[in-house]
């Protein structure tokens, strides 16, 4: 699905019309109430006409209590299964659990006949992603995956300009994510192998891959812009700094697409002060180069050497990105909820399809396998 500024503005108008035609807001159950959920709840406060948070579920009392302060009046549950069994007034479910739980929670929601907004990644395995997609199909209810970074103004504009051929056919992409380490206060999973309560992002079983937790946004956005099938993936990486965990702290990934495009993506968890180069996304076409630059999108012509800057506009309210509950609060999540409202009320297709979400986790899992085996991985080396 193509999402640009014009379609987003139209979507905002559609959202207002849909609300006017509806008797009440969409009543949400939020399952998983850690730090990212607090950002969701802060955003939802800005959309009282569209949404009402009716129930919250999380087994961790401190997280549940914090979320309850952000959603006054919402019922609280320590077990999401009890919530789904008891509440008949829920219109949709939002899944913000650790990644390895996405599939079970999402399938349970579909078994209750409820639409689902699930945080990225869709799952930690292709099999689980397929299970979620099949449950959505059986229920006849939409599965919306939280790739809200597609809705960043610069990303939307680059998608639009690339589709128009502003730099000719894209041939090469260079991108990176240099950031700091995961939140040390994240939920602890008791590893049955060791009996030790461990940050869930440190374990392969619970996170799948560090690149599934972050880096996947950039890879999804680039896949969306390129609109091409992956042929093979090769990667190198490991634990150069944080050696006391299973999941990697750095990687260099190369993706080859069937149309000959090559993408290189570098990732680091030990670069919290990387500055303006911490999130690069450079598209190199046969006729020029395009990238975000100083709040605009720059286009550099190969033939003339000229530089053109294209304005981008963020139409979300300033409060959406003020970070009242931390840096995870952003305007793209605000736009995502407007889009999800239209999906629930009017059947509008999600910004990222579940199949696209499955394909990007497959790309990451192939990169992870390449790192572990020191082999080039073909797309067919994991199931469809």
- Give one DSSP letter per residue of 222-288, joined into a string: HHHHH---EEEEEEEEE-SS--SSSS-SEEEEEEEETTS-EEEEEEESS-TT-GGGGS-EEEEESSE
Task: Give the pairing of strands 51-57 and 250-257.
Answer: unpaired
Task: Give the pairing of strands 377-378 and 230-238.
Answer: antiparallel
Structure confidence at residue 333 (pLDDT):
95
Distance of CA 236 to the CA centre of its chain: 23
Whole-number Å distance between alpha carbons of 208 and 198: 14
Task: Give the pairing of strands 170-178 and 281-285.
Answer: antiparallel
Structure confidence at residue 6 (pLDDT):
52
Token pair recorded at residue 297 = 């999108």
Structure confidence at residue 1 (pLDDT):
43
Whole-number Å distance between alpha carbons of 167 and 333: 29
Environment class of 230 (CB within 10 Å of its CB; exposed 0-12, middle 13-18, buried 19+): buried
CB 344 within 8 A of CB 115: yes
75: three-class secondary structure by DSSP: strand
Q: Which residues of 200-228 are buried (b: 16+ CB within 10 A; e: fewer)?
A: bbbbbebbbbbbbbebbbbbbbbbbbbee
Structure confidence at residue 340 (pLDDT):
98
Structure confidence at residue 384 (pLDDT):
87
Whole-number Å distance between alpha carbons of 333 and 360: 20
Whole-number Å distance between alpha carbons of 149 and 253: 20
Whole-number Å distance between alpha carbons of 301 and 168: 10
241 secondary structure, DSSP code: S
Q: Which domains does the chain have, with CATH numbers?
A: 5-149 (3.40.50.720), 153-311+354-381 (3.30.360.10)
Structure confidence at residue 7 (pLDDT):
52
Whole-number Å distance between alpha carbons of 75 and 14: 30
Structure confidence at residue 17 (pLDDT):
53
Give me the residues of the chain with pLDDT under 70, please. Answer: 1-23, 326-327
Determine phi and psi for 140, rounding to 5 degrees: 70, 30
Structure confidence at residue 249 (pLDDT):
98
Among the listed residues 322, 192, 177, 173, the one whose alpha carbon sits nearest the alpha carbon of residue 250? 177
Token pair recorded at residue 73 = 């009046």
């Amino acid at each position: 699905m193509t999402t640009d500024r014009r379609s987003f503005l139209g979507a905002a108008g559609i959202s207002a019309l849909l609300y006017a035609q509806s008797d009440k807001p969409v009543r949400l159950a939020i399952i998983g109430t850690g730090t990212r959920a607090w950002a969701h709840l802060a955003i939802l406060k800005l959309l009282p006409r569209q949404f009402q948070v009716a129930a919250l579920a999380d087994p961790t009392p401190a997280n549940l209590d914090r979320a309850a302060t952000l959603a006054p009046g919402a019922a609280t549950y320590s077990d999401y299964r009890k919530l789904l069994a008891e509440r008949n007034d829920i219109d949709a479910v939002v899944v913000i659990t650790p990644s390895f739980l996405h599939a079970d929670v999402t399938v349970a929601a579909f078994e209750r006949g409820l639409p689902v907004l699930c945080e990225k990644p869709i799952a930690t395995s292709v099999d689980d992603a397929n299970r979620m997609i099949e449950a959505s199909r059986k229920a006849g209810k939409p599965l919306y995956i939280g790739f809200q970074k597609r809705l960043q103004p610069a990303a939307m504009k680059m998608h639009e300009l690339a589709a128009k051929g502003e730099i000719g056919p894209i041939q090469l992409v260079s991108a990176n994510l240099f950031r700091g380490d995961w939140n040390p206060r994240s939920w602890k999973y008791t590893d049955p192998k060791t009996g030790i309560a461990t940050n869930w992002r440190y374990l392969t079983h619970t996170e799948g891959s560090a690149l599934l937790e972050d880096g996947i946004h950039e890879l999804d956005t680039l896949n969306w812009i390129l609109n091409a099938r992956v042929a093979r993936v090769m990667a190198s990486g490991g634990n150069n700094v944080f050696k006391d965990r299973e999941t990697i702290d750095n990687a260099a990934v190369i993706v080859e697409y069937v149309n000959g495009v090559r993408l290189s993506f570098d990732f680091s968890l030990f670069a919290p002060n990387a500055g303006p180069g911490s999130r690069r996304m450079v598209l190199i076409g046969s006729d020029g180069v395009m990238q975000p630059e100083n709040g605009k999108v720059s286009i550099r012509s190969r033939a003339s050497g000229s530089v053109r800057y294209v304005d981008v506009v963020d139409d979300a309210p300033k409060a959406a990105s003020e970070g009242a509950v931390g840096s995870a609060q952003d305007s793209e999540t605000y736009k995502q909820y407007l889009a999800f409202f239209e999906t629930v009320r009017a059947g509008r297709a999600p910004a990222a399809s579940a199949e696209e979400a499955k394909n990007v986790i497959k790309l990451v899992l192939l990169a992870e396998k390449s790192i572990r085996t020191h082999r080039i991985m073909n797309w067919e080396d994991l199931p469809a």
